[in-house]
Amino acid sequence: MSQSGDHAASLFSPFRLGEIELRNRIVMAPLTRNRATRGSDAPNALNVEYYRQRASAGLIVTEGTQISQQGQGYVWTPGIYSDQQIDGWRQVTDAVHAAGGKIITQLWHVGRVSHVSLQPGQQAPVAPSAIPANTKTYIESGFTAVSEPRELAADEIPGIIADYVRAAENAKAAGFDGIELHGAHGYLLDQFLRDGSNRRSDAYGGSLENRVRLVLEVIEAVAAVFPRGRIGIRISPVSPANDARDSDPQALFGYLVERLNETGIAFIHVVEGATREARDYLPFDYLALRKAFKGAYIANNGFTRELAIETLAEDRADLIAFGRLFIANPDLVERLQQDAPLNAPDVATFYGGDAAGYTDYPSLAEKAA
């Protein structure tokens, strides 16, 4: 298939995502970088510059942003539950908007993927069921095994939904164009969806209808804050990240997307395959989700320029999200347009640190100079 002409143009053509007008179909995927202000978890001037540099993306989805201290799973990740955090994010959204970009925040509760040192009062992390995740988290001393979780009582769930609502209100106050719920990668909403992490026998466990209940209740609750045309969700049907497992992902996510359709949200953001690994990690029919969902389909994971162009040309997605390529290439849109060489990301500076490996990757113009 030709990689030029009309097909290439479609990647760079405008798109209306629900109520949000985008100047191209390139999405900056959410990327945890652990560079929020120590002590307050508020965005700072370095974060402002990082997002401003990448504002040529049609849409920026921020790094996962915890809705509460209980929702935090890693050190130095930003929150959106304090005035200081809202003020920090307002500076980010102002900078992105001034550069002509659009930005939404990813609302995040990690559930069991946390450590007691990050939790209020050093309490156990919460989960649908008291099943520890076979994974690690990142604390001040480095990577460590996650702490054993406790099962959420049924009467605690409305409080978590209220935390999502408050976070959505704060996102609106901070000037975001919309919100994405983090329903992927083995975090809280994903934990409720999957039978590998959800063994509940109440209204939130057992049947598919019960396991998708929390996701749908959160969507209905935040839809009182943002119009549905400014809300989306990220899902990762087969990615094993953070010990996410289900006995029948096709049935689960087929049913979930049917129900998401009824909510009228703007988009689903789908991690195809295993995050940071093979796109064909397990057999899964993503096209079935694409066809079943009436809103926009954002495809993510391991996309090259060629694969992105081909995917749009074959109508397998509406937008393409790039992650690691945006880390090392602040001007990724321009580089993809020109089919220019790409900077290689420095893995050693992904998590934590300062401007090195964060805001110091050169643009094409800077390289030319």
Report how far residue 216's alpha carbon sits from residue 138's, in angstroms, rounded to the nearest whole number.
30
**Residues involved in catalysis:** 187
Q: Give the residue among 184, 194, 219 at the shortest CA–CA distance from 128.
A: 194
Report how far residue 77's alpha carbon sits from residue 9's, in angstroms, rounded to the nearest whole number.
36
Residue 117 is classified by DSSP as G
Q: Give the residue among 190, 206, 188 at the shortest CA–CA distance from 72.
A: 188
Residue 79 is classified by DSSP as B
How would you label 132-143 residue by residue, b for 16+ Cβ within 10 Å and e otherwise?
Answer: ebebebbbeeee
Report how far residue 206's alpha carbon sits from residue 145's, in angstroms, rounded to the nearest whole number.
28
Report how far residue 355's alpha carbon sits from residue 350's, in angstroms, rounded to the nearest whole number.
11
**Which residues, 6 or more positions from 143, have their beta carbon under 8 angstroms from its beta carbon?**
136, 137
DSSP 193-228: H-TTT----STTSSSHHHHTHHHHHHHHHHTTTS-G
SS3 content of the chain, % helix, strand, coil (to 5): 35, 15, 45
Cα separations in angstroms, 101 against 227, 235, 318: 20, 24, 18
The distance in angstroms from the start CA to the end CA of the chain is 35
